[in-house]
Amino acid sequence: MAALENPFTPTFGEIPAHLAGRRFIIQNIGKALNSSRRRPELTTIFSGARGTGKTTLLALIAEQAEQLGWITASVTAMPGMLEDIEIRVRKSAAHLLKTSANTRISSIGIPQVLDIEFNASEDQPNNWRSRMDDILASLEAQDSGLLITVDEVDVSLDEMVQLAAIYQHFVREGKKVALIMAGLPNNISALTSDKTVSFLRRAEMVHLGRIDNYEIEDALRKTISEGGRNASSTDIQQAAEAIDGFPFMLQLVGFRSWEEHPDNNSISSEDFENGIKIAREEMRARIFESTYRELSEADISFLNAMLPDNGDSKIADIQERLEWSSSQTAQYRRRLIDAGIIGERRRGVIAFDMPFFREFLQEE
């Protein structure tokens, strides 16, 4: 049998064949994009730890919006993002926009990828908001709207706050516009705490956490089957347990297991065992080390105080081990939950949410 193309996608932002566990999120945003009336999902903020599928979800929603007739501008929060949005909209909607005689391109450069500067004559308004007003009016005349997606939200970036503030005016003015953003939990929390854009606290807030094992199993089974191969239910179940609800781990395990013997009809138990082992090593290099570097000494102390417990940890035990006050313990508990590293199991009880991070800490 000739080797078949590997259907798994362990790369950031690439849309997998089957996206596990996010069906209702996608359906609700799809309804909002297709509705004649404004729905709250048109302003949505995703938060989650690295590897929970934020970038992939943004890409899938943008693709869905384009199929429904929306113009999309997908950017990452970085200097120049407002100009980047405008350039992308003008390119994507060139067939819908009327080029004003008062607008001209004054310069073109390539600092990062592409930089085009638009200038207007002196008697015309020439700021980002007014130019976008004209663009949105042209789109609405063609029964189209604009979806802006922003990845890696960073509240320290002035343009991030400017975009959110101007977007609020677009909504108030009844423009057909949507804004969907994603970022690490602590960055999302910092953005929604900014008084300038306090309205974002009323946005749809979606925390991307663990995915149920049965959905992981379903995605594995369908991806393998549609890729032209098969695997036993027992092996798929064991792989799902190793994946432990982590979207990026799903793609890594699937990809590496497939690659073990790509010319065989079936993915064997040994293939899965080796795939899981390789995936764990990659998770360490690509996810855990970056996450660990962002932790404070107190964060690490809190996590280390959880290690003596085999599974769930009681907050009272952690507080006693660290000899901290209840308020200090509560502060770092919240920080680590926001970072997606730990999660609540019931009142006063927490556990690791990021798969294999306990083992990583023990090695450290």
Q: Specify the amino acid at residue 195.
A: K
Q: What is the model's pLDDT at position 105?
A: 42
The tens digit of pLDDT for each residue in 196-211 reads 888 898 999 998 888 9
Per-residue pLDDT at 118 exceeds 60: no
Q: What is the model's pLDDT at position 125?
A: 55
Domain boundary (266, 292, 318) is at 292
Domain range for 124 is 23-207
Q: Specify the amino acid at residue 38.
A: R
Confidence at 110, pLDDT banded by 50, 70, 90: very low
In this structure, are 240 and 257 located in the same domain?
yes
In this structure, are 94 and 129 located in the same domain?
yes
CATH code, 288? 1.10.8
Q: Give the mean model confidence (pLDDT) for residues 35-56.
A: 92
In this structure, are 186 and 217 located in the same domain?
no
Phi then psi for residue 120, to 5 deg, are -115, 160
3-state secondary structure the chain: CCCCCCCCCCCCCCCCCCCCCCHHHHHHHHHHHHCCCCCHHHEEEEECCCCCCHHHHHHHHHHHHHHCCCEEEEEECCCCHHHHHHHHHHHHCCCCCCCCCCEEEEEEECCCCCEEEEEECCCCCCCHHHHHHHHHHHHHHCCCCEEEEEECCCCCCHHHHHHHHHHHHHHHCCCCEEEEEEECHHHHHHHHHCHHHHHHHHCEEEECCCCCHHHHHHHHHHHHHHCCCECCHHHHHHHHHHHCCCHHHHHHHHHHHHHHCCCCCECCHHHHHHHHHHHHHHHHHHHHHHHHHCCCHHHHHHHHCCCCCCCCEEHHHHHHHHCCCHHHHHHHHHHHHHCCCEEEEECCEEEECCCCHHHHHHHC
| Cβ-based burial of 1 (10 A; exposed 0-12, middle 13-18, buried ≥19) | exposed
Lowest mean pLDDT across 110-119, 140-149, 179-188, 274-283:
110-119
Is the residue at 15 inside a domain?
no
Is the residue at 1 inside a domain?
no
Confidence at 233, pLDDT banded by 50, 70, 90: very high
pTM of the model: 0.82
Measured in whole angstroms, the distance separating CA 339 from the mean position of its chain's CA atoms is 13
Closest to 127 (Cα-Cα) out of 116, 118, 137, 139: 118
Q: What is the model's pLDDT at position 2?
A: 65
Is the residue at 170 inside a domain?
yes
State how many domains the chain has. 3
* 60 in Cβ contact with 72 (< 8 Å): no
The tens digit of pLDDT for each residue in 270-312 reads 999 999 999 999 988 888 898 899 899 999 999 999 999 988 9
Domain boundary (182, 207, 232) is at 207
Q: What is the model's pLDDT at position 119?
A: 52
Count, residues in the chain: 364
In this structure, are 304 and 335 located in the same domain?
yes
Per-residue pLDDT at 104 exceeds 80: no
The tens digit of pLDDT for each residue in 255-277 reads 999 999 999 999 999 999 999 99
Closest to 87 (Cα-Cα) out of 69, 66, 108: 108
Q: What is the model's pLDDT at position 116?
A: 44
In this structure, are 240 and 184 located in the same domain?
no
In this structure, are 287 and 162 located in the same domain?
no
